[in-house]
């Protein structure tokens, strides 16, 4: 075959190769989950699990990898952060409350661990869309529409957007036609521990987590910041169930902390918000925390002890 006949073929092959490289680059720039998935591929999946002949950007492989990474990551975050909070922050005197259930901690953990794999299925579908490049996630600050100010703004807009969405989703889940089917299991824990933070019905858990995943499809967000925010929301979710009511006094009316969320568990129709009290105030569902007025669960336990002690002293007399 002549050299002139070979040239078009080689040129076409080079073009296909370049196109393939561009597609791969676009895929690898798709989401923050690709950072996690690439790390898992290079350090675990490729050398130890998958055959080297199976391309890392092959869709089925990505889905399987995302399922594994998502489930392991969720379990580690939940159990690890939950344990730290339970042993070092949570006041175990809460367990003396009359509404604290028998074997509650074990039941919370069991319910959460059972639900997380089901929650991961639709979540992985969204992660997969991110990895395939359908989101607005970007790598470098230079890609931000507004540079560093845009990066900082996106952090606050993420919190505002997700807080707003979760408020309305949470309130929807309290509708009488919906509540008993999906949200009621989370309200079994009247006096929650940090392990109640993820103890949701799978539908409930996915719906309340949905705003975090929708945001990067609607608005630009830097990948590492997205991962950081994802970890933060898990920490926050645990923190509002840990019974630590300490909030700077000036922030008590604005931050939806553990005291606010404890009242949500106890009184049901109040304080639906996630981080802030804004939407509860606008929606007429705000309740100033009982614990900040000396009427919280720990105060109830102290009063029980006092009345029991007084009753015992009365008998002795």
Predicted local distance difference test score (pLDDT) of residue 12: 46
Region at 147 (left for phi over 0; alpha for psi -120 to 50; beta for the rest)? left
Cβ-contact 86, 128 below 8 angstroms: no
Scanning 174-289, the segments in alpha helix (DSSP H) are: 179-182, 202-218, 223-239, 258-267, 278-283
Predicted local distance difference test score (pLDDT) of residue 32: 63
> Which residue carries 């967000």 as its tokens?
221
Cα separations in angstroms, 143 against 124, 136, 148, 193, 224: 26, 10, 10, 41, 13
Residue 3 has pLDDT above 50, yes or no: no
Predicted local distance difference test score (pLDDT) of residue 20: 45
Predicted local distance difference test score (pLDDT) of residue 317: 55
Tell me the torsion sign for CA atoms 285, 187, 206, 41.
positive
Beta bridge partners of 221: 137
Give the least confident one: 28-37, 51-60, 162-171. 28-37
Predicted local distance difference test score (pLDDT) of residue 247: 87
Cα separations in angstroms, 12 against 3, 4, 20, 22, 304: 14, 13, 12, 15, 83
Q: For 120-160, how does the pLDDT look when each residue is reduced to its tens digit (9 = 90+)? A: 999 999 999 999 999 999 999 989 888 999 999 999 999 99
Residue 311 has pLDDT above 70, yes or no: no
Q: For 179-219, how does the pLDDT look when each residue is reduced to its tens digit (9 = 90+)? A: 999 999 999 999 999 999 999 999 999 999 999 999 999 99
- pLDDT band of residue 108 (cuts 50, 70, 90) is very high
Beta bridge partners of 123: none
Q: Is 313 exposed, middle or buried (0-12, 13-18, 19+ CB in 10 A)?
A: exposed
Predicted local distance difference test score (pLDDT) of residue 53: 81
Q: What is the mean pLDDT of residues 81-90?
A: 98
The winner for highest mean pLDDT among 2-11, 101-110, 133-142 is: 101-110
- Global model pTM greater than 0.75: yes
- Work out the number of other CB atoms within 10 angstroms of the CB of residue 205: 23
Nearest Cα residue to 212 out of 181, 197, 234: 234
- pLDDT band of residue 22 (cuts 50, 70, 90) is very low
Percent of the chain with pLDDT over 90: 71
Report the C-alpha gap between 7 and 1 in whole angstroms. 11
Residue 24 has pLDDT above 60, yes or no: no
- pLDDT band of residue 308 (cuts 50, 70, 90) is low
More confident residue, 307 or 25: 307
More confident residue, 30 or 86: 86
Residue 245 has pLDDT above 90, yes or no: yes
Tell me the torsion sign for CA atoms 159, 163, 164, 169.
positive
Predicted local distance difference test score (pLDDT) of residue 49: 78
């Amino acid at each position: 075959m002549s050299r002139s006949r070979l040239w078009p073929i080689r040129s076409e092959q080079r073009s296909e190769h370049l196109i393939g490289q561009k597609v791969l680059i676009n895929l690898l720039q798709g989401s923050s989950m690709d950072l996690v998935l690439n790390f898992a591929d290079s350090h675990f999946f490729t050398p130890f699990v998958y055959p080297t002949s199976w391309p890392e950007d092959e869709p089925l492989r990505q889905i399987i990898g995302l399922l594994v990474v998502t489930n392991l990551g969720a379990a580690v975050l939940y159990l690890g952060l939950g344990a730290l909070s339970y042993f070092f922050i949570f006041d175990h005197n809460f367990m003396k409350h009359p509404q604290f259930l028998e074997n509650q901690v074990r039941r919370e953990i069991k319910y959460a661990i059972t639900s997380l794999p089901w929650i991961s299925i639709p979540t992985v579908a969204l992660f997969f869309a991110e990895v395939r490049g359908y989101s607005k996630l970007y790598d470098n600050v230079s890609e931000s529409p507004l540079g560093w100010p845009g990066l900082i703004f996106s952090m606050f807009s993420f919190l505002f957007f997700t807080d707003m969405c979760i408020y309305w989703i949470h309130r929807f889940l309290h509708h009488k036609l919906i509540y008993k089917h999906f949200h009621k299991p989370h309200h079994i824990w009247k006096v929650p521990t940090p392990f109640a933070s993820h103890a949701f019905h799978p539908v409930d858990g996915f719906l309340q987590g949905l705003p975090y995943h929708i945001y990067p499809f609607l608005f630009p967000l830097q990948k590492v910041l997205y991962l950081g925010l994802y970890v933060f929301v898990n920490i926050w979710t645990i923190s509002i169930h840990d019974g630590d009511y300490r909030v700077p006094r000036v922030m008590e009316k604005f931050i939806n902390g553990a005291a606010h969320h404890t009242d949500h568990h106890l009184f049901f129709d109040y304080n639906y918000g996630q981080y802030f009290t804004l939407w509860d105030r606008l929606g007429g569902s705000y309740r100033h925390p009982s614990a900040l007025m000396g009427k919280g669960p720990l105060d109830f336990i102290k009063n029980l002890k006092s009345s029991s002690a007084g009753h015992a002293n009365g008998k002795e007399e």
